Amino acid sequence: MVELIRGLRVDEVRANLERVRDEIAATGRDPREVQILAAVKYVPVEELAVLAEAGIELVGENRAQDLVAKAQAHPGAFTWDFIGHLQSRKVRQILPHVRYIETVASESALEQLERHGTPATEILIEVNVAGEAGKSGIAPAELPAYLERSPVRVLGLMTMPPLAPTPEASRGHFAALRELAAEHDLPELSMGTSQDYLVAVQEGATIVRLGTSLYRSGAS
C-alpha cells in the first residue's frame, strides 16, 4: 500500500515549483504556456493548505470521492482537474468541482456528459497512444468519432505512455499525441509526469502532472 505524503513544507514545495518553472524555461518554452498540475492522489486533505501557500494553483485528483472531499474542504483555494480512471457513474459527482475532466474515454462517459454537462463543461479525451492492452484511453483512430459525438467542448488530449527506463523513451508517444491534437486543432496537451515532464514539454505539453518532483525534498 502506498503511503500518504505527509509533512510537506511550504519552502520546499515553493522551491521545487520554481525549479520546475526554470527547467521548463531552459527547454526554450515559455513557462507561462505550461500549466503545472500537482497530482494530489496521495496528499491528504490536511496537507493541501501547504500547497496553496507554496503557490500551487492547479491540482488533479484520481478518485472522484476524494476530489469532492478535498475541493469542499478547501473552497476556492485551487482549480481542480480530474485525472484518474473515469467511471461514468461518477461524472455527475465530479462536474461541479472541476475545470476539466482529462480522462474521458468511453461512450458511457459521453452519455453522462450529455445528461449532466452544461455549455461551460470542457473535457480532454484520453488517448492510448501506445495501444497498451488493458490500459485506459481510446485508440487514436477513434478520435474523430469521439469529437463528433461529444456533447461538450473538447479542448485537448491526455495520455499516459508506457512505463519506460528513461524519459527519452517516451518522446515518440508524446510526439504522436501532439501530432494527433494538431490534426484536429485541439490546443491542450496533458502529458508528462515527474519522471518525463521535460521531454513532454519539449514535445508541446501544455499541462504536466507532477507529484514527487514537487513534494520531495531535493527533488530533481
- Tens of pLDDT, residue by residue, the chain (220 residues): 678 999 999 999 999 999 999 999 999 999 999 999 999 999 999 999 999 999 999 999 999 999 999 999 999 999 999 999 999 999 999 999 999 999 999 999 999 999 999 999 999 999 999 999 888 999 999 999 999 999 999 999 999 999 999 999 999 999 999 999 999 999 999 999 999 999 999 999 999 999 999 998 755 5
Q: Which of 192, 203, 219 is nearest to 36 (CA)?
A: 192
Give the max Cα distance, the chain.
47
Q: What local confidence, expressed as pLDDT, does residue 193 receive?
A: 97
Cα pseudo-dihedral 48, 104, 100, 211, rounded to 10: 30
Whole-angstrom Cα distance, residue 213 to residue 191? 15
Specify the pLDDT at position 204: 98
Closest of 141, 139, 137 to residue 158, by C-alpha: 137
Per-residue pLDDT at 1:
61
**Domains along the chain with CATH numbers:** 10-213 (3.20.20.10)
> How far does Cα 206 stand from its chain's mean position?
10
Which three-class secondary structure state does DSSP give residue 138?
A: strand
For 120-172, how does the pLDDT look when each residue is reduced to its tens digit (9 = 90+)? 999 999 999 999 988 899 999 999 999 999 999 999 999 999 999 999 999 99
User: Is the pTM here over 0.85, yes or no?
Assistant: yes
- CA–CA dist 49, 69 (Å, integer): 14
* Residue indicated by cell numbers 472522484: 64
Q: How confident is the model at residue 103, as a pLDDT?
A: 98
